[in-house]
Amino acid sequence: MKKTTAARNFASRALTIVQLIGHFSSGRRIFMLPILLLILIASILLVLAGGLSYVAPFVYAIV
Amino acid sequence: MSAVLGVSAYYHDSAAALIIDGKIVAAMQEERFSRRKNDPGLPKRAAQACLDQGGITAEDLDRVVFYENPFARLERVVMSSLEAFPHSWRQFPSALQSQIGGKVWVLDGIAAMLGVPRSLVTTVGHHESHAASAFFPSPFEDAAVLTIDGMGEAESTAIWHGVGAGLQCLASIPYPHSIGLLYAAVTAFLGFEVNEGEYKVMGLAAFGKPRFNTEFAKLLRLQSDGAFELGMEYFAFHTDTNIAFSPKLEHLLGPARQRGKTWNLGKDGDDQRFADIAASLQWITEEALLGLAREARRRTGSANLCLAGGVALNCVANARVLRESGFSRLFVQPAAGDADGALGAAILGTIALDGARPEAMTSAALGVAISTDAARALCTSLGIGWQEPADVLDAAAGLVLEGKVGAFARGRFEWGPRALGQRSIIAAPQDPGMRDRINQIVKKREPFRPFAPAVLRDRAGEWFAAHDNDMTPYMTTTSDVLEHRATDLGAVRHVDGTARIQTVSEEGAPEFFGLLNRMQARGAPPIVLNTSLNGNGEPIVGCEADALAFFLSHPVDFMVLGDVMISKGAVAA
């Protein structure tokens, strides 16, 4: 039962990822794909760093 | 034929709506079940209640439709953050966390919530949902449609043309230029909660004079073709998730009002400036809506107009649009805020499957019904005495005419933020002291908040100037009270001489129709003061237990709960 639910959740997420990539791949949005990738990586780093406080000096330096 | 569930969620006021075989079977907001005001979460209980009401299970659904495209919204968040960079830097992580961490996966969440295949869950556009919820439930075959809210995926405002089962977008105004966000920013400036206090601002406006017109013309720059732009230097919502306006707004209008401070209006009151600001906001909102409506009329040539989106809940503006825009008829359905997206999504799904539009809406009573059996069982378990008069509506009518304040919960609860006679506090409308009593003791809210009159439709013309239109059954407009009748309606006539009228028919609000008829049979005017059955800051009552909880914690004199009548004296110590 748990395996079935997990498989269904995985299939569901996969479909969303396909649709997300499909959305950003269409028309003039394709230029946003690298930006989206960069944002995803930056988001993961920020979450891992526990927020903005660790990177604050760099933030202030660039803005 | 088909069974389609529409869902709105993850911004504010989540909801579900079910259409089976072209009939709107049920439409409910999650807040009625979760008891969390404007609940934005997935509407699990509302969806289940809709399915129960339709006598089907999730497996019977042909389609589930979400009211906006989460990928298009993510695109707009990324684009607007890039456009506002570097000022948007602080907002960016939280905005992105909200999108990537939750909203992008909403379709998976809906599929899991219902236990249906993910492929069954589809999306439509945010403003398309709004437009569908406004046009297709209307009585019109041909109408211009205006959708005006804070923001959709990329637009804040759009003009549509609806004909038969079709809707076509003719023009739109992109985020961040938004009447809804202007209203939200000034709501925050006046010390109210955004997405909750907007209707308080509308009530406050009647106490002020629009002497800040010049300043507001800088905040919202209107153009001759109905388009507009915000003066972005006065706002901060595009760069900061927690602050709606920038310091420049305080330079323009003076210091913002402190949140939670007691209101002091009147000649020497220090809050008069804020009432004038509210009046100026109301003025510019009406001017913007009129410009859009005139443009919509020019583009469509239709005699009919439908409005949707949160701004369409501004009943004062709606009344002026009907008077001055050149349209003959105007329809605003009762849940015109974000909740209506669920209904619009369900309708669009139905049209995609059946090729035909659903039946027009004839009543807002689309929620769960009060059960008299459940009411009896609850009273018994709590030791509360009750009666079951032969005619509970007649008994309630008698108590109202004696000057008592009652809680009235019968039938299916209403769709939208207005109590329309299924979950209401009721009282006689004549004495202005009644308004103060209910405001201070029962509702515990600001003294400037008005109450609404509910009146039998056939007799409304005896008290009200503008009573015969498509909005009055749903309380989405106002009407002038006839001057010579002002003393008859002291508790429901607002300071500007208007009232937020509800006209009552047997088809639209059968419970209230019965009550008002009993009042009429007793020789009294068939009008009752009506305000929502909820405590301060709470959602409107949903089930029997919510109603009893309200009754036990608020000083009302009696309660009608299904066929059961409870009076305060019958409550066990």
Residues 6+ apart with CB under 8 A from B255: none
- Do residue B105 and residue A13 have CB atoms under 8 angstroms apart? yes
For B121, which residue in chain A has the nearest alpha carbon?
A12
Higher pLDDT, B149 or B135: B135
Q: In this predicted structure, what is the pLDDT of residue B262?
A: 83
Q: Which residues contact B332 (CB under 8 A, 6 or more apart)?
A: B134, B306, B307, B308, B312, B313, B315, B318, B471, B474, B476, B477
Establish whether the linkage from the previous residue to B176 is cis, with ω within 30° of 0: yes
- Cα separation, A8 vs B73, in Å, equals 25
What average pLDDT does this structure show over B351-365?
95
Residue with tokens 């659904």: B61
Look up residue B475 and give its amino acid: M
Does B179-236+243-331 match B3-67+69-123+338-361 at the fold level? yes
pLDDT class of A60 with cuts at 50, 70, 90: very low
- CA dist B466 and B468 (Å) reads 6
Are B498 and B505 in contact by the 8 Å Cβ rule? The answer is: no
Average pLDDT over residues B522-531: 96
- Residue B447 has a pLDDT of 75
User: Which parts of B236-355 are beta strand (E)?
Assistant: 304-308, 329-331
Which pLDDT belongs to residue A42? 65
A16:B107 CB<8 A: yes
pLDDT digits (tens, 9 = 90+) for B300-321: 999 999 999 999 999 999 999 9
Nearest Cβ partner for A13 among B74, B90, B108: B108
CB-CB contact of B314 with B184 (8 Å): no
Which residues does chain A have within 8 Å of residue B89's beta carbon, measured at their own beta carbons?
59, 63
More confident residue, B416 or B197: B416
Which residues in chain A touch residue B108, judged by CB atoms under 8 angstroms apart? Answer: 9, 12-13, 16
Mean pLDDT within B46-55: 98
Pairing of strands B412-414, B228-230: unpaired
Q: Give the tens place of pLDDT for each residue, B106-145.
A: 999 999 999 999 999 999 999 999 999 999 999 999 999 9
Write the DSSP symbol of residue B167: E
Residues B172 and B159 sit within 8 Å (Cβ to Cβ)? yes
Give the per-residue SS3 of B468-531. Answer: CCCCHHHCCCCEEECHHHHHHHCCCCCCCCEECCEEECCCCCHHHHHHHHHHHHCCCCCEEEEE
Pairing of strands B329-331, B304-308: parallel
Compute how many other C-beta atoms are within 10 angstroms of the C-beta atom of residue B247. 11
pLDDT band at B473 (very low <50, low <70, confident <90, very high): very high
pLDDT tens digits, B33-46: 999 999 999 999 99
What's the pLDDT at B82? 76
Q: Of the CATH numbers 3.30.420.40, 3.30.470.10, 3.40.720.10, 3.30.70.380, which one belongs to the domain with range B179-236+243-331?
A: 3.30.420.40
Note whether B102 and B91 are within 8 A (CB).
no
Residues of A in contact with B111 (CB under 8 A): 12
* This prediction's pTM: 0.91
pLDDT, tens digit (0-9, with 9 covering 90-100), for B547-563:
999 999 999 999 999 99
Domain ranges of chain B: 3-67+69-123+338-361, 179-236+243-331, 367-570
Give the B-side interface with A, CB within 8 Å.
69, 71-72, 74-75, 78-79, 82, 86, 89-90, 93, 96-97, 100, 104-105, 107-108, 111-112, 117-119
Average model confidence (pLDDT) for chain B?
92
Give the list of residues 6+ apart from residue B548 with CB closer than 8 angstroms, or none: B375, B378, B379, B382, B384, B559, B561
Instruction: Tell me B57's DSSP state.
Output: -
What local confidence, expressed as pLDDT, does residue A62 receive? 41
Point out the least confidently predicted range of A9-13, B146-150, B190-194, B282-286. A9-13
Give A5-13's long-range contacts (Cβ < 8 A, gap of 24+): A8/B117, A8/B118, A9/B108, A9/B112, A11/B118, A12/B107, A12/B108, A12/B111, A12/B112, A12/B118, A13/B105, A13/B108
Q: What confidence category does residue A53 fall into, taking pLDDT thresholds of 50, 70 and 90?
A: low
Let me know if domain B367-570 sits in CATH 3.30.450.20. Answer: no
Query: What is the H or E stretch that residue B353 is in?
Result: helix B340-354
Q: Per DSSP, which regions of B111-241 are E strands? A: 121-123, 142-148, 155-163, 166-174, 220-222, 228-230
Q: Choose between B529 and B259: higher pLDDT.
A: B529
Does B84 score more than 90 pLDDT?
A: no
Q: Which secondary-structure segment (H or E) carries B407?
A: strand B406-409
Q: Which helix (H) or strand (E) holds B215?
A: helix B213-219
Scored b (16 or more CB within 10 A) or e, B131-162 reads bbbbbbbbebeebbbbbbbbbbbbbbbbbbbb
| Res B430: pLDDT | 93
- DSSP annotation of B429: S
Amino acid, res. B221: R
CATH number of B3-67+69-123+338-361, picked from 3.40.50.410, 3.40.50.1970, 3.90.580.10, 3.30.420.40: 3.30.420.40
Mark yes or no for CB contact A19/B71 under 8 Å. yes
Q: Which residues pair with B369 in a beta bridge?
A: B412
Cβ neighbours of B64 in A, within 8 Å: none
Backbone angles phi, psi at B401, to 5 degrees: -70, -20
Q: What percent of chain B has pLDDT over 90?
A: 78
Q: What pLDDT score was predicted for residue B540?
A: 96
DSSP secondary structure letter of residue B541: P
- Round the average pLDDT of chain A to a whole number and report it: 70
